[in-house]
Amino acid sequence: MIKVSQLAAAVAMVVTAAAVQAGEVEVLHYWTSGGEAKSVAELKKIMQAKGHVWKDFAVAGGGGDNAATVLKSRVVSGNPPAAAQIKGPAIQEWAAEGVLANLDATAKAEKWDSLLPKVVADVMKYKGNYVAAPVNVHRVNWMWANAAVLKKAGVAGMPKTWDEFFAAADKVKAAGLIPVAHGGQNWQDFTTFESVVLGVGGAKFYNDALIKLDAKALDSDTMKKSLETFRKVKSYTDAAAPGRDWNLATAMVMQEKAAFQFMGDWAKGEFLAAGKAPGKDFLCAAAPGTANAYTFNVDSFAMFKLKDSGAQKAQGDLAAAIMGTEFQEVFNLNKGSIPVRLNMSMAKFDDCAKTSSKDFVDTAKTGGLVPSVAHGMAIKPAAEGAIKDAVSQFWNDDKISVADGMKNIAKAAATK
Ligand code: GAL
């Protein structure tokens, strides 16, 4: 007869074996709005279907500032999550700390090098090794509008230049509605700001001023014109904007309270989750003056070094799932972005996504493809934070002159 102690040992062995097969993945992310939650639920489903346990670690706060703070405290206390939504230069900073897991085994087996645009693969690697898995490509320089509101206000179509935009905004105002739905948080202010800079100055100026942080560009007439235009946009927002979440601003457009919103295409995920139809209920167009340019924002997950072999297996499966065709399609259909994996069929995607996909390829050839500063794609987090603060101060305080606004931004750009 089998003894109790033997039985316990046998059970322990089975449990250990199971743990090697499947593991728990704790995933830190900030996808909590309607469209975002629907999107991340697809990743959870795929991981559960592989037998893993998904431990959701959602930290609310658009743009991810709150999530970044929580992540720091978890890593510093020696208790990192299995995976976290980290992107751009922040990936390099975390990798330099020596805390990220090497994903090369998965990347090699799944042939990531041949499935990713080089500009994306480079960001996912640290010293030649993959340390993060990319999810999507979001376009940031979009302008969204409610079709019924435009009609009511007598606006014939989506404005293509800033002059046309202000003429349209005046008509909306005259119709008693809010021209621009805005959420006053610094990443949202900067989302609008970088689209204005791109529209006023073009891609080369954007690169010089906001990526290279070139002192001459930051002190130029084009920067002056950008700040004047930016301030004018603000005059078309409502008094309740400060502190408002981005998805509540999107809801104002949906509910026919406001006409336009400047936001990346996660806003489309929000419209879709509410059952709104693109091209009919809501319209998408590049922000004025930016049709030939593209500010990109690639979401990605980095994995942290963990000791448990089940957790390591789950991390590999998560990385493989993220780059898999099934996830790339269903996630991006919900999220409003386009697949980052090359050669994916766009058949199921709407016209906004098809435009984004075409413009991504075209602008890569013309030099119009630029990283989004507002979304952590371009410059080191410290300088990014300082510039965002300077831009938000200017946005929030009409008493700051354009000249002083320019000086403050240039000073912030020097932050190391
Ligand atoms: C962006 C992120 C998107 C979207 C948005 C609002 O920075 O890349 O995936 O979620 O913030 O939270």
Nearest CA to ligand 1 atom 2: 63
Q: Tell me, yes or no, whether 87 and 26 share the same domain.
A: yes
Beta strands in 196-269 (DSSP E): 258-262
Decide if pLDDT at 267 tops 60. Answer: yes
Decide if pLDDT at 16 tops 70. Answer: no
Q: Tell me, yes or no, whether 173 and 263 share the same domain.
A: yes
**Cα–ligand 1 centroid distance for 282 (angstroms):** 20
Using CB distances shorter than 6 Å, the residues near ligand 1 are 30-31, 36, 62-64, 138, 246, 266, 297, 299, 375
- pTM > 0.75: yes or no: yes
Closest atom of ligand 1 to 376 CA is 7
Q: Tell me, yes or no, whether 260 and 289 share the same domain.
A: yes
- The CATH code of the domain that includes 205 is 3.40.190.10
Decide if pLDDT at 220 tops 50. Answer: yes
Last-in-domain residue among 348, 365, 382 = 365
Q: Tell me, yes or no, whether 265 and 307 share the same domain.
A: no
Q: Tell me, yes or no, whether 354 and 395 share the same domain.
A: no
* Per-residue confidence (pLDDT) for residue 17, from 0 to 100: 41
Residue 51 CA, chain-centre distance (Å), reads 29
- CA 258, CA 385: separation in Å to the nearest integer? 29
Q: How confident is the model at residue 21 (pLDDT cuts 50, 70, 90)?
A: low
pLDDT in tens, 170-210: 999 999 999 999 999 999 999 999 999 999 999 999 999 99
Last-in-domain residue among 327, 344, 365 = 365
Q: Supply 254's token pair.
A: 């949906």
User: Which structural domain, as residue segments, surrounds residue 13?
Assistant: 4-138+297-365
- CA 396, CA 399: separation in Å to the nearest integer? 9
* Per-residue confidence (pLDDT) for residue 244, from 0 to 100: 98
Q: Tell me, yes or no, whether 288 and 173 share the same domain.
A: yes
Q: Tell me, yes or no, whether 259 and 203 share the same domain.
A: yes
- In angstroms, the Cα distances linking 23 to 17, 56, 141, 277, 313 are 11, 14, 39, 39, 7
Q: Which long-range contacts (CB under 8 A, 24 or more apart) does 210-213 make?
A: 210/373, 210/378, 210/379, 210/387, 211/370, 211/371, 211/373, 211/378, 211/379, 213/379, 213/383, 213/413, 213/414
* Per-residue confidence (pLDDT) for residue 173, from 0 to 100: 98
Nearest CA to ligand 1 atom 9: 299
Q: Tell me, yes or no, whether 324 and 222 share the same domain.
A: no
**Cα–ligand 1 centroid distance for 19 (angstroms):** 33
**Cα–ligand 1 centroid distance for 361 (angstroms):** 22
Q: Tell me, yes or no, whether 107 and 170 share the same domain.
A: no
More confident of the two residues 9 and 177: 177
Q: What mean pLDDT comes out for the span 345-360?
A: 98
Q: Tell me, yes or no, whether 334 and 389 share the same domain.
A: no
Q: Tell me, yes or no, whether 11 and 77 share the same domain.
A: yes
Decide if pLDDT at 335 tops 60. Answer: yes
Nearest CA to ligand 1 atom 8: 299
> Is 44 buried (19+), middle (13-18) or exposed (0-12) by CB count in 10 A?
middle
* Per-residue confidence (pLDDT) for residue 60, from 0 to 100: 96
Q: Tell me, yes or no, whether 203 and 318 share the same domain.
A: no
Closest atom of ligand 1 to 375 CA is 7
| Total domain count, the chain | 2
Find all residues with CB under 8 Å of 94, minimum gap 6, and list them: 75, 86, 100, 131, 302
**Cα–ligand 1 centroid distance for 167 (angstroms):** 30
What are 399's strand-pairing partners? none
Q: What mean pLDDT comes out for the span 232-258?
A: 98
